[in-house]
A and B are shown apart, each in its own frame.
Chain A
């Protein structure tokens, strides 16, 4: 059945929809004001999951730049998958660079790199690239890939380049549309620069590429969470006032009280 593969690979979207519907149902069917707010929160949580799932890259790290290695101009390779033993080491230029030296030199592949030339720093030619690939050649085709910060360093190729360009399989792309993970960056969070890094192969010690999840949905969700918290607090403040005024937080009682006033107003003519 065509449904089953969808379920297996898109289970997260099913979860989103189910949560969303549960939340909506609670909002509409519940007779208690606080429960309605809880349902609203559930509905919003489903939306958060939706955004997070858009941006998730399989094997991707949180989009946080590691500490800058002060002994050189390059960034730490602390977040390299497969180099887990060295994550978080700040002054650990030794750990990072040891692996660098084993990288082959090589010119940058021209073909797959998209409109990114504006991003190339001078460091692109250096072999010890504690570098992070910044553009996914396949999925960011339609983007200008204009990064916010001028720190992106295009990495040097990895031996298994043909396979590494299979990266789209790792991104949560769908079959029926180009899910170009944009580098659109909210200006309030100027940090993010990276698209999904594409060289997935954690060639132990051989690659300096790090894979990040798309940071933009994270930013959007932080905003939405804040909005949700604000809404919840205004809602609860209203519930407090309603409780003080009506003496109850059950929808039925409140409606009855309001209706009584309406009837009284109408009959007072």
Chain B
């Protein structure tokens, strides 16, 4: 399938796929902002997200073939220039974000009409596209300060998008303001950390930083940088107790915004966090290891339990799911904190699956919101009778959240269990079990309300004879179907997760900074700028150079002596690859 995708793409797209992923939504945002009609703006949004998704697929195909893509913006070679780096960790996330953006745009075709004022819809879509571009940029860039820039691009658009919910509930405004304050604090902490790292290494390129830090890893400056970056990204990822912005932002934002944010915003920060934790800093180093074991892991566990408890107490369906997201972030970070190949793979798997789950759940709630304005759980009584398709999709998402076998959620939770078992983290297993039970409680409560109770008269009348709009139904069914599909056909995702974990543990490929030949250098823009690092690259298609030195998932030469955990990796790999039971 990958070759077919590559075959579809014209040469220009193949050469510049990495940058097109980000540039297309950016240009689309400008185009949408100046669109004369909302229809046109929606079309622009559709085309932009579709183009970006296609470019992301092309990139993933290229990474499959070549192991890593490196794209120098403007042809300037790093560390002077900004480099986009796509590897096994990035590529699936790019596809995830862009495809979910596409689905959200399609979903919004009919939903937006209810939630956003007509004269603002074009600008709304423009801000949405900016958010997409920002999130994609955060994932794809290999330059630390560029991460900050894209993070702020996406965050600023997010604040605006969340505030658009004020049309229906004015609490969206205070939620958006709160999010702005906390989000800016987080990003500023991140940039302070980058400043410390720049002081210590003199470079902003992540791979180069990794190489230089390997030489002098444990000075006070590096530790300070690590701490600031950790806190900043943890705030953006909504790790407990830095999660307080999330429930308000999710609950009061418009449906398409909530769906998109829940599925992508925190995931992107988590990907960057794992990239910094493992690929820039060495997780074997004292401070980083201590932080992982004694700060991230306990906070993740606390988030899992406390987030689930708070979810149980909520009365608003969207808030339940929002607190559940806080708990799921805890799951993901628990997997990452183990720093074993199986743990990182499990965390990455859950990251992907959670996007699918929450996407389906919030989309279903968005359709429900078309019929009834209240989000309180008792008001959803009997939904299974009057809105069968939507409720079925919601139920699938809910069961996936719990982790019922045959759903994607089961695959990732099982992987997490296995990884914790292999790493010897018994307390983690206990915590996962407790929070799963709590998930049964809050999801079960909603499902019981929807299916067992009788619908009220008002609800019956609101839904009488109406079926959900096609534009909203199709993405919902796609996401719900994906939950089932990836629950049954777990292999591709598991392999992708394991490749990602291998790439993370192996560390970034720094051969182009140690004077060696440039590693799989993907496309260059090469407009008149000559290479500075002496590498013999000439903008050749990755397929050609792919044969030279790439083993998929394994960077060619490593200047950084990253050691995968000796003792635990071997033991943990076996259970991870033996989980046939998941299928």
Binding site for B on A (CB under 8 A): 24, 27, 33, 36-37, 40, 43-44, 47, 50-51, 54, 118, 140, 142-144, 146-148, 174, 176-187, 216-217, 220, 223-224, 227, 230-231, 234-235, 238-239, 241-242, 245-246, 254-255, 258, 261, 265-266, 268-269
B202 in contact with A238 (CB, 8 Å): no
Additional pairs, 14, CB under 8 Å, beyond known A43-B185, A146-B79, A224-B191: A27-B181, A176-B221, A177-B220, A180-B201, A180-B202, A183-B80, A227-B187, A230-B152, A235-B177, A238-B180, A242-B174, A255-B174, A265-B315, A266-B315
Contact B204 A245 (CB under 8 A): no
**Known: A40-B181, A230-B156. Is A182-B79 also a contact (CB below 8 A)?**
yes
User: Does any Cβ of A come within 8 Å of B573's Cβ?
Assistant: no
Establish whether residues B192 and A184, one from each chain, have CB atoms under 8 Å apart when the complex forms. Answer: no
Q: Is B558 an interface residue (CB 8 A)?
A: no
Closest to A241 in B: B173
B82 within 8 Å of A by Cβ? yes
Chain A residues with CB under 8 A of B148: 224, 227
CB <8 Å contact, B149 and A187: no
CB neighbours (8 Å) of B149 from chain A are: 223, 227
| Overall SS of chain A's interface | helix
Cα A46 to Cα B327 in complex, Å, equals: 34
Sample of 16 A–B contacts (CB below 8 Å)? A27-B181, A33-B177, A118-B534, A142-B212, A143-B79, A178-B200, A187-B73, A187-B80, A216-B198, A223-B149, A227-B187, A231-B180, A238-B159, A241-B163, A241-B166, A245-B173
Query: Which residues of chain B are within 8 angstroms of A181 by Cβ–Cβ distance?
Result: 202
Name the one of A40, A183, A184, A269 contacting B184, with C-beta atoms under 8 angstroms: A40
Tell me the complex Cα distance, A176–B216, Å: 10
A235 to B183 CA separation, bound complex (whole angstroms) = 12
Instruction: Give the residue of A27, A176, A246 whose beta carbon is less than 8 angstroms from that of B219.
Output: A176
Bound Cα distance from A219 to B82, whole angstroms = 13
Q: Does B289 contact A (CB under 8 A)?
A: no
B422 to chain A, nearest CB (A): 37
Taking A143-B202, A184-B79, A241-B173 as contacts, is the C-beta distance between A177 and B180 under 8 angstroms?
Answer: no
Using a CB-CB cutoff of 8 Å, which residues 382-410 of chain B contact chain A?
none
Q: Does B579 contact A (CB under 8 A)?
A: no
Given A43-B185, A146-B80, does the pair A177, B221 have CB atoms closer than 8 Å? yes
> Is A177 touching B200 in the complex (CB atoms < 8 A)?
yes
CA distance A239 to B166 in the complex (A): 13
Q: Does A144 lie within 8 Å of B533, measured CB to CB?
A: yes
Q: Which of B107-135 contact A (CB under 8 A)?
A: none
Q: Which residue of chain A has the shortest Cβ distance to B374 in the bound complex?
A: A265
Q: Write out the residue numbers on chain A whose beta carbons fall within 8 Å of the beta carbon of B216.
A: 177-178
Residues of A within 8 A of B503 (CB): none
Contact A50 B195 (CB under 8 A): yes
B165-184 residues with Cβ-Cβ distance < 8 A to A are 166, 170-171, 173-174, 176-177, 180-181, 184
Q: Are A179 and B76 in contact (CB under 8 A)?
A: no
**Given A184-B202, A187-B82, A238-B159, is A146 in contact with B181 using a C-beta cutoff of 8 Å?**
no
Measured CB to CB, the nearest residue on chain B to A54 is B199
Within 8 Å CB of B204, what residues of A? 182, 184, 216
* A265 and B316 form a contact (CB under 8 A): yes
Indicate if the CB atoms of B166 and A231 lie closer than 8 Å: no
| Contacts from B to A (Cβ < 8 Å) | 73-74, 76-77, 79-82, 145, 148-149, 152, 156, 159-160, 163, 166, 170-171, 173-174, 176-177, 180-181, 184-185, 187-188, 191-192, 195, 198-205, 212, 215-216, 219-222, 315-316, 376, 378, 513, 532-534
Rounded to whole angstroms, the CA-CA distance of A183 and B316 in the bound complex is 53
**Complex-state Cα separation, A239 to B176, whole angstroms:** 10
Are B195 and A177 interface neighbours, CB within 8 A? no
Question: What residues on B are CB-neighbors of A179 within 8 Å?
Answer: 199-200, 202
Residues of the A chain whose Cβ atoms lie less than 8 Å from the Cβ of B74:
187
Chain A residues in 8 Å Cβ range of B222: 177
For the complex, what is the distance from the CA of A233 to the CA of B76, rounded to whole Å?
Answer: 33
A145 to B406, CA, bound (A): 55
Q: By the criterion CB–CB under 8 Å, are B198 and A182 in contact?
A: yes
Q: How far is the CB of B187 from chain A (nearest CB, A)?
A: 8
Once A187-B76, A241-B166 are accepted as A-B contacts, the answer to whether A182 and B192 lie under 8 Å apart by CB is: no
Docked-complex contact A176 and B181, CB < 8 angstroms: no
Contacts of A51 in B (CB 8 A): 195
With both beta carbons as reference points, the residue of chain A lying nearest to B160 in the complex is identified as A234
Find chain A residues with CB under 8 A from B163 CB. 238, 241
Query: Which residues of chain A are within 8 angstroms of B198 by Cβ–Cβ distance?
Result: 54, 182, 216-217, 220
A40, A177, A238: residue with the most chain B Cβ atoms closer than 10 Å: A238
User: How far is A138 from B199 in the complex, measured between Cα atoms in Å?
Assistant: 15
Contact B188 A44 (CB under 8 A): yes
A101 to B160, CA, bound (A): 62
Name the A residues within 8 Å of B205 (CB-CB): 184
Chain A nearest CB from B202 CB (Å) reads 3
* Cross-chain contact of B80 among A148, A227, A234 (Cβ < 8 A): A148
Q: Is A231's CB under 8 angstroms from B199's CB?
A: no
- The CA of A258 and the CA of B251, in the complex, are separated in Å by 13
Give CA–CA (A216, B202) in the complex, Å. 10
Cα(A174)–Cα(B202), bound, Å: 13
Q: How far is the CB of A134 from chain B (nearest CB, A)?
A: 13
Which A residue's beta carbon lies closest to that of B211? A142
Contacts A144-B513, A220-B145, A231-B156 given: A174-B76 contact, CB under 8 Å? Answer: no
Residues of B within 8 A of A24 (CB): 185
Shortest beta-carbon distance from A95 to chain B in Å = 33
Which residues of chain A are near B159, meaning CB under 8 Å? 234, 238
**A54 cross-chain contacts in B, Cβ below 8 A:** 195, 198-199
Interface centre among B159, B173, B187 (most CB of A within 10 A): B173
* B199 and A239 within 8 A (CB): no
A235 to B155, CA, bound (A): 12
Chain B residues whose C-beta falls within 8 Å of the C-beta of A230 in the assembled complex: 152, 156
